[in-house]
């Protein structure tokens, strides 16, 4: 007797073989055959309220666990609703497998009901994708999809399966070997590159470890700590790398970039050697590229060869797993340092003084309203470094990056590359599913929250007790900030009036969550503690905050990092610095 | 800016051309010509892509192309180490009195007159791009009604094949991604 099963059973068996323990999705016509065996499977399926929620939940799950996140949807609009989270996962290199039903193969190309060419649509935003019309190919495609998504530079893979392929019979055979002629990511770095990098570091008087999200993806925080302490060089962690290196560490200068610390931005600008680890010279980090770190040589370690030289020429390219690269670099560097070790005292005098002179900070509003930065800072302080913090996109995201102190990798989740508003609630849901024992805070804006809060219903019904802090400034705050600064305070369509409508507390209550409100600075700690005490239900806290708080420091878009402002019309006092 | 010719071995699977075209489109790379066809291996197709860009941009194109899972091997075809050809079909309005003259021009470029009518002659020619351009220029005097050109195709000189180098060495690392002439292998 052979393993005769339906294509749908083959799909579910394949997911089980791939080690999937949870997936997020919504059934519909074309994917319906798959939902029958899902009913019997040991895989936990979480029924979300919108496919976008399924996609971001898969991302949140993947980001905290390091495993491949899975989402599933039907054809047509079900599939197109996954486009945003797939694009988001592609930009942030998140391992994800998205499974979609497709109309029956005979109907493909006929503009059939709920037909969308999701393979074509997602070609530019996936690492790879498949259209399966033959049930014999399902197991192989799923095996390949998980392999591609989770290895090399991680990314989303979509598997689109025609309905008839799910219905027809096939022999289930889980492949024992993956054979992809065109995919064989290189993880072991070339020894020559390591030697060249060590030689450059040993000569550098102003080195900086420029740390990107790749270090977290590679689970390489331990190696990073060793490398940093060996070199004694300043460390900066990008938005995607927050938590890769402890904020409390004396070598840490904080986050670089558009809203980075003065010390981190200036360290990159004035450096003579950027030791770039799993980072990609994003425009939000470099500012105007032609003026970025003009005197620095570049060591660039990345698993994706296409990142080398994409935005900035690399003097030494280390292609491979960034953890393996650091593991190889450490002994090479120890050997170099035995010959000579550069004295970084002067460099540290400069950077240390910038760090102490320009810490990220904020003022309490003169009108007595609550400072949004204070709320976020207190959430971080009370919840501690073991909690997971998931931000939406905008001012609150920057403040959550600046004012929560991260000590551990995979405790800070956000939509860095794509900047997807609405990421926080569903991603926090996925994170809580992945780490059920952790406190998971979604730090969200009132704008973001109104894009995807329907997943709180999913959380309430499925025992996923996340905590949501709505930093309610009744505005699309970051856009409003730009309008203040660059559009003469003409607030075109950025006022959400969300202190009036909706009533977030009632909304939370209606969705089966506990709704709390906080309007005064004096209540902030009390309300956070109240939220922390509730662990059997999702909690939503509406923090009513000062409307005109701004994110500082700031390097305005398209300008040079040299023109960083610490406050409105206020540049750092460079004259007192010897740089 | 310089003209570069890339030979790209791809899996012969649906959507591969779309993936390559989509990549070029979204990254803003301009293609001068693109020729795709089957190879000696039925599972593999070969694309010959001609681009006009500087050496640094070429490195990026190669690296980005290589990220496509269906791309198996890439090699730059240089003028000295490879044979490059393109094909031309051109319809001209040669008067009967001019036809002898046309025949002489066509013969000079090893072309063939493949169709004749009262109002036209159709000529087929194959050769290096420069020869094809020269032939076309010579034919202009007779009046060109319509023409179609294939994209450039290229093959390395000598016994080595691109497939040998890219397929038989499974697991071999990329040698030097910063070098435009490096062969990208898996």
Using one digit for the tens of pLDDT, what is the confidence trace for A138-152?
Answer: 999 999 999 999 999
pLDDT-flagged residues of chain B (< 70): 167-186
Interface check for B56 against chain A (CB to CB < 8 A): the answer is yes
Per the rule left: phi > 0, alpha: psi between -120 and 50, beta: everything else, B28 is left
On whether the CB atoms of residues A440 and A390 are closer than 8 A, the answer is yes
Distance CA A393, CA A414 (A): 8
Distance CA A190, CA B176 (A): 10
**pLDDT-derived band at A1, boundaries 50, 70, 90:** low
The pLDDT of A171-189, averaged and rounded, is: 93
**How confident is the model over B105-128, as pLDDT tens digits?**
999 999 999 999 989 999 999 999
Q: What share of chain B is helix, strand, coil (3-state, %, to 5)?
A: 30, 35, 30
Confidence check: pLDDT of A459 > 70: yes
Instruction: State the nearest Cα–Cα gap between A369 and chain B, in angstroms.
Output: 46
The pLDDT of A330-334, averaged and rounded, is: 98
On whether the CB atoms of residues A442 and A468 are closer than 8 A, the answer is yes
Is A123 within 8 Å of B177 when comparing Cβ atoms? no
Residue with tokens 């493949």: B114
Is A181 within 8 Å of B64 when comparing Cβ atoms? no
CATH class as words, domain A4-171: alpha beta
Q: What is the mean pLDDT of chain A?
A: 97
CA A347, A348, A352, A353 torsion: positive or negative? negative
Is B186 within 8 Å of A182 when comparing Cβ atoms? yes
CATH of A372-544, one of 2.60.40.10, 3.40.50.720, 3.40.50.10800, 3.40.50.970: 3.40.50.970
Instruction: Report the pLDDT value the prediction gives residue B180, as an integer from 0 to 100.
Output: 34
Q: In 3-state terms, what secondary structure has residue A94? A: coil
Instruction: Report the pLDDT value the prediction gives residue B165, as an integer from 0 to 100.
Output: 75
Give the strands of the sheet with A44-47, arranged side by side. A44-47, A22-25, A69-73, A96-102, A156-162, A128-132
- Alpha helix ranges (H) inside A66-173: 77-80, 83-91, 118-122, 138-150, 163-167
Cβ atoms within 10 A of the Cβ of A418, count?
18
Cα separation of the two ends of chain B = 29
**How confident is the model over A387-445, as pLDDT tens digits?**
999 999 999 999 999 999 999 999 999 999 999 999 999 999 999 999 999 999 999 99
Instruction: Report the pLDDT value the prediction gives residue A330, as an integer from 0 to 100.
Output: 98
Phi, psi of A187 (to 5 degrees): -105, -25
Residues of A acting as catalytic residues: 51, 113-114, 163, 478
Number of cross-chain residue pairs from A and B with Cβ atoms under 8 Å apart = 66
* A110: Cβ contacts below 8 Å, ≥ 6 apart: none
Distance CA A262, CA A259 (A): 9
Which residues on A lie below 8 Å from B177 (Cβ)?
305, 308, 317, 319
CATH class as words, domain B83-149: alpha beta
**How confident is the model over A196-241, as pLDDT tens digits?**
999 999 999 999 999 999 999 999 999 999 999 999 999 999 999 9
Q: Where along chain A do the CATH 3.40.50.970 domains lie?
A: 4-171, 372-544
Q: Where along chain B do the CATH 3.30.70.260 domains lie?
A: 2-81+157-167
Cis peptide leading into residue A345 (ω within 30°): no
Distance CA A376, CA A443 (A): 8
**How confident is the model over B77-90, as pLDDT tens digits?**
999 999 999 999 99
**Which of A60-64, A450-454, B29-33 has the weakest average pLDDT?**
B29-33
Instruction: Report the pLDDT value the prediction gives residue B175, as an integer from 0 to 100.
Output: 32
Q: In 3-state terms, what secondary structure has residue A406? A: coil
Instruction: Report the pLDDT value the prediction gives residue A579, as an integer from 0 to 100.
Output: 64
Q: Complex ipTM, two decimals?
A: 0.92
**How confident is the model over A117-168, as pLDDT tens digits?**
999 999 999 999 999 999 999 999 999 999 999 999 999 999 999 999 999 9
Is B69 within 8 Å of A305 when comparing Cβ atoms? no
Which residues on B lie below 8 Å from A148 (Cβ)?
69
Confidence check: pLDDT of A380 > 90: yes
Q: Where along chain B do the CATH 3.30.70.1150 domains lie?
A: 83-149
CATH of A191-357, one of 3.40.50.1100, 3.40.50.300, 3.40.50.1220, 3.40.120.10: 3.40.50.1220
CATH topology of domain B2-81+157-167: Alpha-Beta Plaits (3.30.70)
* A501: Cβ contacts below 8 Å, ≥ 6 apart: none
């Amino acid at each position: 007797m052979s393993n005769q099963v339906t294509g749908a059973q083959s799909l579910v068996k394949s997911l089980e073989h791939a080690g999937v323990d949870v997936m997020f999705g919504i059934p519909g016509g074309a994917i319906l055959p798959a939902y029958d065996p899902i009913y019997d499977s040991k895989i936990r399926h979480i029924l979300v309220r919108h496919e976008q929620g399924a996609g971001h939940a898969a991302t949140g799950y993947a980001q905290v666990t390091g495993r491949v996140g899975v989402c599933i949807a039907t054809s047509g609009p079900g599939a197109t609703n996954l486009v945003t989270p797939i694009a988001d996962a592609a930009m942030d290199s998140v391992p994800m497998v998205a499974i979609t039903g497709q109309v029956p193969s005979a109907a493909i190309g006929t503009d059939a009901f709920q037909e969308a060419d999701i393979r074509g649509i997602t070609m530019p935003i996936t690492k790879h994708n498949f259209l399966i019309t033959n049930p014999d190919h399902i197991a192989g495609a799923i095996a390949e999809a998980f392999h591609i998504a989770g290895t090399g530079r991680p990314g989303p893979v979509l598997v689109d399966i025609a309905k008839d392929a799910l219905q027809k019979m096939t022999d289930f055979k889980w492949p024992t070997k993956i054979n992809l002629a065109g995919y064989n990511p290189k993880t072991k770095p070339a020894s020559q590159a390591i030697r060249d990098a060590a030689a450059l570091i040993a000569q550098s008087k102003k080195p900086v470890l420029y740390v990107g999200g790749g270090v977290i993806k590679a689970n390489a925080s331990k190696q990073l700590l060793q490398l940093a302490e060996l070199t004694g060089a300043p460390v900066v962690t990008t938005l995607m790398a927050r938590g890769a290196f402890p904020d409390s560490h004396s070598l840490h200068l904080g986050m670089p970039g558009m809203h980075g610390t003065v010390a981190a931005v200036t360290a990159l600008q004035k450096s003579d050697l950027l030791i770039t680890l799993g980072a990609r010279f994003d425009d939000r980090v470099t500012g105007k590229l032609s003026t970025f770190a003009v005197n620095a040589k570049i060591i660039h370690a990345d698993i994706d060869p296409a990142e080398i030289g994409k935005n900035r020429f690399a003097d030494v390219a280390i292609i491979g797993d960034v953890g393996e690269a650091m593991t190889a670099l450490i002994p090479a560097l120890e050997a170099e340092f035995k010959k000579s070790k550069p004295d970084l005292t002067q460099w540290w005098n400069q950077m240390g003084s910038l760090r102490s002179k320009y810490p990220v900070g904020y003022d309490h509003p003169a009108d007595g309203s609550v400072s949004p930065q204070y709320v976020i800072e207190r959430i971080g302080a009370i919840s501690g470094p073991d909690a997971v913090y998931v931000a939406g996109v905008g001012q609150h995201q920057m403040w959550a990056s600046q004012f929560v102190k991260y000590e551990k990798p995979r405790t800070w989740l956000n939509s860095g590359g794509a900047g997807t508003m609405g990421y926080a609630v569903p991603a926090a849901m996925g994170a809580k599913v992945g780490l059920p024992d952790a406190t998971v805070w979604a730090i969200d804006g009132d704008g973001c929250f109104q894009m995807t809060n329907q997943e709180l219903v999913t959380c309430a019904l499925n025992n996923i007790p996340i905590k949501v802090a709505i930093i309610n400034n009744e505005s699309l705050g970051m856009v409003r900030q730009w309008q203040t600064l660059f559009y003469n305070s003409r607030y075109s369509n950025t006022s959400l009036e969300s202190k009036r409508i909706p009533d977030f507390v009632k909304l939370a209550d209606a969705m089966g969550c506990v709704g709390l409100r906080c309007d005064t600075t004096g209540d902030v700690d009390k309300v956070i503690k109240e939220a922390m005490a509730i662990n059997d239900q999702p909690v939503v806290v509406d923090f009513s905050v000062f409307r005109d708080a701004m994110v500082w420091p700031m390097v305005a878009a398209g300008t040079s990092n040299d023109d960083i402002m610490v406050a409105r019309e206020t540049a750092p006092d460079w004259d007192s610095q010897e740089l | 800016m310089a003209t570069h010719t890339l030979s790209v071995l791809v899996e012969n699977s649906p959507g591969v051309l779309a993936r390559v075209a989509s990549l070029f489109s979204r990254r803003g790379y301009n293609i001068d010509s693109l020729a795709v066809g089957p190879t000696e291996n039925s599972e593999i197709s070969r694309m010959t892509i001609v681009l006009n860009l500087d050496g640094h941009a070429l490195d990026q194109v190669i690296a980005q192309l290589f990220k496509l899972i269906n791309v198996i091997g890439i090699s730059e075809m240089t003028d000295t180490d490879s044979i490059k050809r393109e094909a031309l079909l051109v319809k001209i309005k040669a008067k009967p009195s001019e036809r002898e003259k046309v025949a002489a021009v066509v013969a000079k470029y090893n072309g063939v007159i493949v169709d004749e009518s009262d109002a036209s002659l159709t000529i087929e020619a194959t050769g290096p791009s420069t020869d094809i351009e020269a032939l076309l220029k010579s034919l202009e005097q007779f009046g060109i009604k319509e023409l179609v050109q294939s994209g450039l195709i290229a093959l390395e000189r000598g016994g080595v094949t691109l497939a040998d180098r890219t397929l038989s060495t499974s697991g071999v690392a990329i040698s030097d991604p910063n070098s435009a002439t490096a062969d990208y292998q898996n």
